[in-house]
A and B are shown apart, each in its own frame.
Chain A
Amino acid sequence: QKEVEQNSGPLSVPEGAIASLNCTYSDRVSQSFFWYRQYSGKSPELIMSIYSNGDKEDGRFTAQLNKASQYVSLLIRDSQPSDSATYLCAVNGETDSWGKLQFGAGTQVVVTP
């Protein structure tokens, strides 16, 4: 059973601080990794994608991938109340599992003013 694991939280973060979210996955051949943000009652919104080991930065977001250790993380710098949401980690396997994203259950982030 291929799995994607996330800490469910809630992760409480003071405004202006860094939020650090972690995700581990079991399928060693996973190729593509995504972070989605989901506000309560809304659909998931893609915020980051990462395909190679290392860091990828986009504005206040940084995704970090370590395939050897099978984890991917998301850092949110200068956290704002509008960042309060559930963050979903998604992992895509090898090419013969086309389109089959495996999602984690999500980490709830609460940014406190």
Chain B
Amino acid sequence: ETGVTQTPRHLVMGMTNKKSLKCEQHLGHNAMYWYKQSAKKPLELMFVYNFKEQTENNSVPSRFSPECPNSSHLFLHLHTLQPEDSALYLCASSQGYNEQFFGPGTRLTVL
């Protein structure tokens, strides 16, 4: 595997389900990010982890819970989501302040 990988690529879940998104970066970077991309809207930064410590929580509802066990892996735990949470969820990584590289994303649909 190279670059940034994300699983699953597609996810359909009900509002009462609990699911997790996984991201792994193979670039040796020290920072990882979660973004949300909704139709016709700019990318929204959700969480930032620097050396596996959370440095940013961009006013994200508590039904989204991130976890970063090490600098290569990042999870986004989902529970009791709403239909408006349906979007493309993107993971990215960077080395310091440098360019961010994105994974392929998880297309989430909440029924």
Q: How far is the CA of A56 from the CA of B97 in the complex (A)?
A: 19
Q: How far is the CA of A34 from the CA of B94 in the complex (A)?
A: 13
Please name all residues of chain B whose beta carbon is closer than 8 Å to the beta carbon of A36 when the two chains form the complex: 102
Q: How far is the CA of A4 from the CA of B101 in the complex (A)?
A: 19
Q: Tell me which of B41, B55, B97, B102 contacts A92 (CB under 8 A).
A: B97
Please name all residues of chain A whose beta carbon is closer than 8 Å to the beta carbon of B97 when the two chains form the complex: 31-32, 92, 95, 98-99
Contact residues, B69-110 vs A (CB, 8 A)? 88, 90, 94, 97-105
- The answer to whether B50 has its CB under 8 Å from any CB of chain A is yes
User: Which of A11-19, A37-45, A57-65, A71-79 forms part of the interface with chain B?
Assistant: A37-45
Chain B residue at minimal CB-CB distance from A88: B43
Q: Tell me which of B31, B42, B56, B90 contacts A43 (CB under 8 A).
A: B90
Please name all residues of chain A whose beta carbon is closer than 8 Å to the beta carbon of B105 when the two chains form the complex: 42-43
Given contacts A88-B43, A103-B42, contact A98 B55 (CB under 8 A): yes
Please name all residues of chain B whose beta carbon is closer than 8 Å to the beta carbon of A95 when the two chains form the complex: 97
- The answer to whether A101 has its CB under 8 Å from any CB of chain B is yes
New contact pairs (5) apart from A36-B102, A49-B98, A95-B97, CB-CB < 8 Å: A49-B99, A88-B43, A90-B100, A100-B45, A101-B45
**B binding-site residues for A, Cβ under 8 Å:** 31, 33, 40-43, 45, 48, 50, 55-56, 88, 90, 94, 97-105
Q: List 22 A-B contacts (CB under 8 A).
A: A32-B97, A34-B99, A43-B88, A44-B90, A46-B99, A46-B100, A49-B99, A90-B100, A98-B56, A99-B31, A99-B48, A99-B50, A99-B94, A99-B97, A100-B45, A100-B56, A101-B43, A101-B45, A101-B100, A103-B43, A105-B41, A106-B42
